Structure 1
Amino acid sequence: MFDLMNINPGLWVILAGFVCALIPKSEATYYVRKLILIAAPIFSAWLIFTIKTEPSVLGGFLTVGPVELTTMRIDNLSVVWGYLFCLAGLINGIYGLHEKCRITDSAALIYTGSAIAGVLAGDMITLFIMWEITAISSVFLVWKGGDRAYAAGMRYLAVQVLSGVMLLGGAVMVAESRGGDFMFNYVGLDTPGGWLMLIAMGIKCGFPLLHNWMQDAYPKASITGTVILASFTTKFAIYALARAFPGTDILIWIGAVMTCFPVFFAVVENDLRRVLAYSLNNQLGFMVCGIGIGSALAMNGVVGQVFVHVIFKGLLFMSIGAVMYRTGTAKASELGGLFRSMPYTTVLCLIGAGSIAAFPLLAAFVTKAMILAAALENHLWVPFAMMLFASAGVMEHSGIKVPHFTFFAHDSGRRVKEAPWNMLLAMSLAAILCIYLALPIPGGGYHLLYSLMPFEMEYAYKPYTWDHVVFQLQLLFAAIFAFTLLKRYKLYPAERRAEIVDSDWLYRRVGFGAVKWISAMWDRANIHVSRYRTRVFDRVGSRLYQAFSPAGSMSKAAPSGLAAGLTGGMLLLTLLVIYVLGA
């Protein structure tokens, strides 16, 4: 009998994506697609709410050969990501209402659904399948960005598929060490499979030197596509890390480095969508570090930070996307003065900028501090200092640079229309959540956010203490003062029109150069081999011609006695052989 409550809710969103792909393209069916785009995440959220009647609900059991699959697990950890991805799917759907491309609508739904199904997966095989579907579906959002996006999309797809292959290999090795158990629980680094899975997840959430696919693909995707891409892939990987590797010490240092190095590239980057991609990498570092710490306070901070991060990072990408939609560019050197013609977008962008910088009464203020407090509780002084530096850095490049160069700075002379109503509505919803989830409202505000957190703590964390508020304001105003001082004395790095290359230099320059050199050497070797082969064949052919041609030595007349002598010699040799063998 068909049981709606025994099917992973994300699968319905994937099905909706395929339905959108099959609907004929016309003016009438446009509204049908948009209705499905909005309704599917809402339906999935309702299913999650309805199914989770206990702390942990398992379902969707399948037997594939000797493997037992649990395709649905809704517990206190996965449910937060499930609700979050449904919320992101809804906001992204509203933001993309002006988008008339059937491929974008279909890919967005399949991508959203696979992310929801992935975080609600109970076994590693289902996790892998959804891991790969997110990669395949999301690449279409990159390719819709135009001609320059094709190569970036191919690189993006190659990296994502490689991550999935490594995840599957690691999962098989881990399951073998467990006696065939494929349940997706704590993995750890006790087996080679665990290390392989860690690297696979590290690729998807942008570990240092494995992160360049974000800065490469996200800015080249379509306007709507970039917003959607920023919501799911990396946060899916953060969920996988939180499930498989909590308390893994190496993640503390990986995360700390992730928070710091993007700051330097974001400062000199001209493309504001790339700036936000670096900022995304920076924020992921806080989450990875919190997972490495592994305490209840740190893990709750990770969950809270993931939740608000999807909202305020989406708000920033949406605001820059709205500017790009009206002006045709996201280059800081070509923008400025847009607060005159896009005042609502300006205000909404400032709310997103204040949220990511963790201003009091804005989203990250009540979540990022939990990770920092957990680092202090565990006496991790160096990682704490690195995250503190990164907090000031994110204020500089995302909190100040993005809105400053977009809406203020010099006047670019552009006078454009305000963003479309659907973009303003999506940005307004995100901005309202950024404010509401940070307010100290009894039974609401940040208390509502804290009620979603999965781990029990010995005490309730209180973000609005005198020490925390004053310390955070000191940090933020110090960053503002530093930016102002550098701009006043013209010491702030100028916006370069060239594309900044970081560790991808290894494959874009060194790797490409090595391939060109190997190709040239191969061509030269082929030329030499070809010449030598030609000389050998010519010489052999000449000798054969001299021997067997009508004028050759084998065609000349010979005395009849020669043939008789040769025959006799062969008979003598045969008799000797028989005699020897017979003896």
Structure 2
Amino acid sequence: MPTMLAGLNPGWVLIIAGVASLFITMRSVRQVVTIAAPLLALLLLVFAPQNADLVTTQVLGLKMVLYRVDALNFIFSLAFLIAAVLNGIYALHSDDRIQDGAALFYAGAAVAATLAGDLMTLFVFWELTAISSVFLILRAQTRAAYYAAMRYLGVQVLSGVLLLNGLAYVLKSRGDLSLEAFTDLSDPGVLFIFIAFGIKAAFPLLHNWLQDAYPKATVVGSVVLSVYTTKLAVYALARMFPGQDHLIWIGATMTVFPVFFAVIENDLRRVLSYSINNQVGFMVCGVGVGTPLAINGVAAHAFADIFFKGLLMMSMGAVLYRTGTVKASQLGGLHRSMPWTTVFCIIGAMAISAFPLFSAFVTKSMIISEVASAGYAVIFLMLMFASAGVLEHSGIKIPYYAFFGHDSGLRVKEAPFNMLLAMGIAAFLCIFLGLPALFPGFGHEWLYGLLPYREEAMGYSHHHLFSFEHILTQFQLLVLAIFAFVLLKRVHAYPPEKRGVILDSDWTYRKVGYNLVKWAGTVWGKAGPAMTAAFFRITSRAYNWIEAAFSPRGELARGGVLNGAMTIWTAALLGIVLLLSFMAVG
């Protein structure tokens, strides 16, 4: 790689390509750009020197490290860039300049944020991910998508504001904005940053922007959105808050609560949005444990999740593209007319369910194993329950209701070739990453060789990963989950698929908040004119009194005793101000 290209940030390549795509009217040229740019960025990343500040600058006396590659951010950036290639292939059937440009810009901002070497640079690209990604929702061009996009943007901007506020505190207390891990959440600045990361990671009660917006995006948009925002937050947490105990319980809660909502949800893209919460919860829990093997598990699981979750989103996007719906109550029997999409969806379902020889089996187990080793018995049981829940809602429900179940009578064309190609590559990765090493560097060993703590990962692989006990335990969990699904269906106890909107904690602002605003508007409509008139009467009288007292013709300008009294009051007020100032300094 030429020296002149060594300092070129891969994220910037995608950002430039994204801006260019907005102005490229020829579809064929734009298609080349959307695939060639991520491939070029991949080469730049692979050949970039590690553990060195490649691009730095000074802004207002503040050192900003615009580009730095190390073992942790390399694997996240690699996954982001491979996903950008697949997203470009998946979108080849469409002719939407704004969507293509936004997807590249969004991916580039996420990569640039991951490769940032200081908090201020991270903040800049953190905000750019929010601004660019909202267009992937707006391009659906529906009323629901518009309102969801506005809510999404508000939440994402709030995350940025909190992050910037935290940076100001940290800069004042620490003197720099280096990416040095935080330990004390009692510090206001650190807490602001923690909450900012938590919003993008979709912590419990801060998560509804995800289920609200992702299912309403375009066919391509949902696939792209599923890759970047939450995984960028996971990277930021792993970088800045490893070993933070609060994250263990937050992550465990994230794995459990989506199971209950996903079971009753009718919109299959919304089911997958809850599944994002679930899988990110495993990563957040691993960050909280903070051991080298747990951080390895976080990085590996994030890498694998990008492809098996992306594959499931792609398959549902293909169904939506051909049928016009992803409502479980309206689908079924599509395996007859979309056989390849069915196969790829099943591969993604097996991967996310951690079947042996599939990707999550070799990534999620590191996190669960470290939780058990650390003695968190309750957390371990929560993660095991959540693992069974994953199989139920993403491993069984998605393929069953979309492609099997009752025959809806829908007979459509198979997905376009470019969609099948992208799904095929993602399916290959789901299998390849889960295979045992037939020779060095093959299958899961290739992934383990990229992890921040490579030796610990290889040691875990050789002694535990493909042991009989581990495989048997996982098979037992999967078989019991399948049995539970079949039994519930047999006795008609499984929640039926019904049309409707399932409200989560967003009920607080979509129902209660809306009704409060509506009530306030009604009250103002009735009492507003009278209150406005009374306000103007009071202010008019106050103005007349002030004018009468302080104008050149007023009482205070006439001298005499009153003037002497004002001198005394002025001196008294000055004394009070000086006293308060002295107390504040002290």
Query: Quick check: TM above 0.5?
Result: yes
Q: 1:108·1:141 contact (CA, 8 Å) conserved in 2?
A: yes
Runs of at least 5 residues in structure 1 that lack an aligned partner in the other structure: 537-573, 578-583
Aligned to 1:546: none
Give the Cα–Cα distance (whole angstroms) in 1 for the partners of residues 68 and 535 of structure 2. Answer: 65
Give the Cα–Cα distance (whole angstroms) in 2 for the partners of residues 286 and 193 of structure 1. Answer: 26
Are 2:131 and 1:129 aligned? no
| Percent of aligned positions that are identical | 53
Secondary structure of the equivalent of 2:412?
Answer: coil
What letter corresponds to residue 171 of structure 1 in structure 2?
L
Are 2:394 and 1:392 aligned? no
Aligned to 2:28: 31
Q: 1:166·1:196 contact (CA, 8 Å) conserved in 2?
A: yes
Aligned to 2:542: none
1:54-65 counterparts in 2 under 5 A?
A: 54=50, 56-65=51-60
Aligned to 1:105: 100
Q: 1:174·1:187 contact (CA, 8 Å) conserved in 2?
A: no
2:139 pairs, out of 140, 144, 158, with: 144
Give the Cα–Cα distance (whole angstroms) in 2 for the partners of residues 8 and 36 of structure 1. Answer: 17
The offset of 1:297, in angstroms, is 1.0
Give the Cα–Cα distance (whole angstroms) in 2 for the partners of residues 228 and 244 of structure 1. Answer: 25
1:355 pairs, out of 351, 355, 374, with: 351
Aligned to 1:175: 171
1:173-252 counterparts in 2 under 5 A?
A: 173-179=169-175, 181-190=176-185, 191-252=187-248
The offset of 1:519, in angstroms, is 1.8
Give a deviation string over 1:364-394, Cα, whole Å, max 9, x none. Answer: 0001010000001100111111011000001
The offset of 1:532, in angstroms, is 6.6
Give the Cα–Cα distance (whole angstroms) in 1 for the partners of residues 172 and 529 of structure 2. Answer: 50
The offset of 1:48, in angstroms, is 1.1
What letter corresponds to residue 423 of structure 1 in structure 2?
M
Cα 1:334/1:62, change in 2 over 3 Å: same
Aligned to 2:365: 369
What letter corresponds to residue 5 of structure 1 in structure 2?
A
1:447 pairs, out of 432, 445, 448, with: 445
2:84 pairs, out of 79, 83, 89, with: 89
The offset of 1:226, in angstroms, is 0.4
The offset of 1:496, in angstroms, is 2.0
Give the Cα–Cα distance (whole angstroms) in 1 for the partners of residues 180 and 130 of structure 2. Answer: 23
Give the Cα–Cα distance (whole angstroms) in 2 for the partners of residues 274 and 488 of structure 1. Answer: 25
Secondary structure of the equivalent of 2:407?
Answer: coil
What letter corresponds to residue 90 of structure 2 in structure 1?
Y
Q: 2:286·2:297 contact (CA, 8 Å) conserved in 1?
A: yes
Secondary structure of the equivalent of 1:414?
Answer: coil
Q: 2:23·2:97 contact (CA, 8 Å) conserved in 1?
A: no
Give a deviation string over 1:60-98, Cα, whole Å, max 9, x none. Answer: 111111101111110011110111111000001000001
Higher Rg of the two aligned structures: 1
Secondary structure of the equivalent of 1:51?
Answer: coil
What letter corresponds to residue 50 of structure 1 in structure 2?
F
Give a deviation string over 1:215-269, Cα, whole Å, max 9, x none. Answer: 0000000000000000111101100000000000000000000000000000000
1:325-364 counterparts in 2 under 5 A?
A: 325-364=321-360
The offset of 1:363, in angstroms, is 0.7
TM-score (norm 2): 0.89
Aligned to 1:555: none
Give the Cα–Cα distance (whole angstroms) in 2 for the partners of residues 460 and 281 of structure 1. Answer: 27
Secondary structure of the equivalent of 1:62?
Answer: strand
Give the Cα–Cα distance (whole angstroms) in 2 for the partners of residues 475 and 285 of structure 1. Answer: 19
The offset of 1:178, in angstroms, is 1.1
What letter corresponds to residue 202 of structure 1 in structure 2?
G
Aligned to 1:257: 253
Aligned to 1:502: 504
Aligned to 2:401: 405
Cα 1:460/1:34, change in 2 over 3 Å: same
Aligned to 1:316: 312
Secondary structure of the equivalent of 1:68?
Answer: strand
Query: Which stretches of structure 1, 4 residues or longer, exceed 4 Å deviation after superposition?
Result: 530-536
What letter corresponds to residue 16 of structure 2 in structure 1?
L
What letter corresponds to residue 69 of structure 2 in structure 1?
I
The offset of 1:171, in angstroms, is 1.6
Aligned to 1:383: 379
Cα 1:489/1:194, change in 2 over 3 Å: same
The offset of 1:188, in angstroms, is 2.8
Are 2:39 and 1:42 aligned? yes
Q: 1:171·1:182 contact (CA, 8 Å) conserved in 2?
A: yes
Aligned to 1:493: 495
Give the Cα–Cα distance (whole angstroms) in 2 for the partners of residues 523 and 503 of structure 1. Answer: 30
Are 2:516 and 1:514 aligned? yes
Give the Cα–Cα distance (whole angstroms) in 2 for the partners of residues 357 and 9 of structure 1. Answer: 32
Give the Cα–Cα distance (whole angstroms) in 1 for the partners of residues 196 and 121 of structure 2. Answer: 15
The offset of 1:527, in angstroms, is 3.8
Q: 2:250·2:285 contact (CA, 8 Å) conserved in 1?
A: yes
Give the Cα–Cα distance (whole angstroms) in 2 for the partners of residues 529 and 265 of structure 1. Answer: 46
Q: 2:222·2:313 contact (CA, 8 Å) conserved in 1?
A: yes
Are 2:457 and 1:460 aligned? no
Secondary structure of the equivalent of 1:367?
Answer: helix
Aligned to 1:529: 531
Q: 2:8·2:44 contact (CA, 8 Å) conserved in 1?
A: no
1:278 pairs, out of 274, 279, 282, with: 274
Mean alpha-carbon deviation: is it higher for 5-14 or for 202-211?
5-14
Q: 2:448·2:454 contact (CA, 8 Å) conserved in 1?
A: no
The offset of 1:457, in angstroms, is 4.8
1:416-427 counterparts in 2 under 5 A?
A: 416-427=412-423
Are 2:475 and 1:473 aligned? yes
1:291 pairs, out of 287, 290, 293, with: 287
The offset of 1:49, in angstroms, is 1.4
Secondary structure of the equivalent of 2:6?
Answer: helix
The offset of 1:293, in angstroms, is 0.2
Give the Cα–Cα distance (whole angstroms) in 2 for the partners of residues 488 and 218 of structure 1. Answer: 33
What letter corresponds to residue 451 of structure 1 in structure 2?
G
Q: 1:296·1:456 contact (CA, 8 Å) conserved in 2?
A: no
Aligned to 2:578: none
What letter corresponds to residue 96 of structure 1 in structure 2?
A
How many equivalent residue pairs?
A: 533
Aligned to 1:11: 12
Cα 1:8/1:533, change in 2 over 3 Å: closer
The offset of 1:535, in angstroms, is 11
Give the Cα–Cα distance (whole angstroms) in 2 for the partners of residues 421 and 21 of structure 1. Answer: 25
Give the Cα–Cα distance (whole angstroms) in 1 for the partners of residues 534 and 434 of structure 2. Answer: 77
The offset of 1:105, in angstroms, is 0.6
Q: 2:264·2:495 contact (CA, 8 Å) conserved in 1?
A: yes
Aligned to 1:20: 21
The offset of 1:45, in angstroms, is 1.1
Give the Cα–Cα distance (whole angstroms) in 1 for the partners of residues 431 and 190 of structure 2. Answer: 39
Give the Cα–Cα distance (whole angstroms) in 1 for the partners of residues 21 and 245 of structure 2. Answer: 45
Q: 1:263·1:282 contact (CA, 8 Å) conserved in 2?
A: yes
Runs of at least 5 residues in structure 2 that lack an aligned partner in the other structure: 539-557, 562-586
Q: C-alpha root-mean-square deviation of aligned residues, in Å? A: 1.9
The offset of 1:533, in angstroms, is 8.6
Secondary structure of the equivalent of 1:454?
Answer: coil
Give the Cα–Cα distance (whole angstroms) in 1 for the partners of residues 159 and 290 of structure 2. Answer: 24
Mean alpha-carbon deviation: is it higher for 437-446 or for 267-276?
437-446
